[in-house]
Structure 1
Amino acid sequence: MATCDFCGRTAEDGAATLTWTTAVENGRQKTFCDQCSREHLRAMEGKLDSEFW
């Protein structure tokens, strides 16, 4: 089961996470659901840590 590190949304099916994104922040891998990924795409492209979104 995967959990979005930004909003807490969960996905039990591995196929459901194919559209999710991952990032490494401060040495930790973070996972973001497709909805959060779309909403914060510019911040991700700018390599801002999720705490600044």
Structure 2
Amino acid sequence: MTSHPGRGDDTGPAEPQALVCARCGTRAEDPQPTWTLSVENGVRRHSCATCSRDNLRAIEGRPDARWW
């Protein structure tokens, strides 16, 4: 039996983690096709459908952090 680095033992596949909206804190257990994903300073940030719609102009108009 082999173990994966950092896991210590072979406990099987990892449980899927719930998505949490970075703006309002809404939680979703399953992948949501209407949510958006952005990567800011190497950190993945999810936004729920409501926050995505409410902030679409800011999301689309904001350049990637490496441009600053």
RMSD (CA atoms):
1.7
Q: What corresponds to 1:21 in structure 2?
A: 36
Rg bigger for which structure?
2
Alignment partners' CA distance in 2, 1:28 and 1:45:
18
Alignment equivalent of 1:8, drawn from 25, 45, 58: 25
Query: How high is the sequence identity, in percent, across the aligned residues?
Result: 49
- Tell me by how many angstroms 1:48 deviates: 6.2
The structure carrying a bigger helix percent of its residues is 1
Which structure ranks higher in relative contact order (CA pairs < 8 Å, sequence separation ≥ 6)?
Answer: 1
Q: How many residues align?
A: 47
Secondary structure at the counterpart of residue 39 of structure 2: strand
The structure carrying a bigger strand percent of its residues is 1
> TM-score when scaled to structure 1?
0.77
Unaligned runs of 5+ residues in structure 2 are 1-17
